[in-house]
């Protein structure tokens, strides 16, 4: 039985994860930790794995605490950027014994969408990303959009693709979106969305679109369960669920 501590257990993703983990074979939530609770509850409960769904400004400290105490950790907190990942690698050192799995998106469909986008990226002249989330989301662009754009930019660089064409010279209001690499990323925050993303590809005489929609947070739970099961025995930092899923 794998014993799990959920951090941010009273939040939307945390509470859904508690239910999913307790319903899964071989997993048990032994600590539900939220604002004001001590992290010592993790070791007091004998947790093997910590699942973090807190906020970006505290998630790094939570991960560093888990590393110090030898607890494997899955990071589901959005906004866990490159600087935070670098800090985790530094804390783990050259011979890490703890596993840290950082997951920008737990949806199996979203992970496949990112893989398909990475594969398609070198074959099209133009690429843009549009991500759509509920207005309570605190970060933009989403971690999924950033990860998608990073994967596509790396695939294009490896293939020697030409720069994405864009004749825009005047954009005082940022209408062309943020840039991840050279790929424009646009964020929509509107009631009615949970998590959606479109990747738009364009070439001479054709357009190609990959879209994924999560309509309910239950769509993330198979990935959460897979991550909690898969982090054990993975020393060091792993970004994304791809290797856990065998992709």
Query: Whole-angstrom Cα distance, residue 90 to residue 119?
Result: 31
CA dist 150 and 53 (Å) reads 23
Please report how many Cα atoms fall inside a 13 Å half-sphere around the Cα of residue 85, on the Cβ side: 16
User: How many CA within 13 A on the CB side of residue 228?
Assistant: 29
Residue 236's contacts (CB-CB under 8 Å, 6 or more residues apart) are 89, 92, 96, 99, 100
Q: Is there a cis peptide before residue 141, judged by omega within 30 degrees of 0?
A: yes
Tell me the catalytic residues.
Answer: 133, 137
> In this structure, what DSSP letter does residue 100 have?
E
């Amino acid at each position: 039985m794998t014993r799990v501590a959920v951090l941010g257990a009273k939040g939307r993703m945390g509470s859904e994860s508690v239910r999913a983990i307790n319903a899964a074979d071989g997993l048990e939530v032994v600590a539900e930790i939220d604002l004001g609770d001590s992290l010592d509850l993790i070791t007091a409960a004998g947790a093997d794995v910590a699942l973090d769904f807190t906020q970006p400004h505290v998630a790094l400290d939570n991960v560093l605490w888990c590393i110090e105490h030898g607890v494997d950790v899955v990071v589901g907190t959005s906004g866990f950027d490159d600087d935070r990942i670098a800090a985790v690698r530094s804390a783990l050192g050259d011979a890490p014994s703890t596993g840290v799995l950082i997951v920008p998106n737990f949806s199996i469909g979203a992970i496949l969408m990112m893989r398909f986008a990475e594969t398609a990226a070198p074959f099209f002249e133009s690429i843009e990303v549009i991500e759509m989330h509920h207005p309570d989301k605190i970060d933009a662009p989403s971690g999924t959009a950033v990860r998608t754009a990073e994967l596509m930019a790396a695939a294009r660089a490896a293939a020697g693709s030409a720069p994405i064409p864009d004749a825009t010279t005047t954009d005082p209001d940022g209408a062309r979106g943020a840039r991840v690499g050279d790929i424009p990323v646009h964020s929509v925050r509107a009631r009615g969305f949970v998590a959606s993303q479109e990747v738009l590809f364009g070439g001479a005489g054709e357009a190609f679109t990959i879209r994924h929609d999560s309509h309910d947070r239950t769509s993330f739970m198979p990935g959460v369960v897979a991550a909690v099961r898969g982090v054990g025995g993975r020393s060091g930092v792993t970004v994304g669920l791809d290797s856990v899923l065998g992709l």
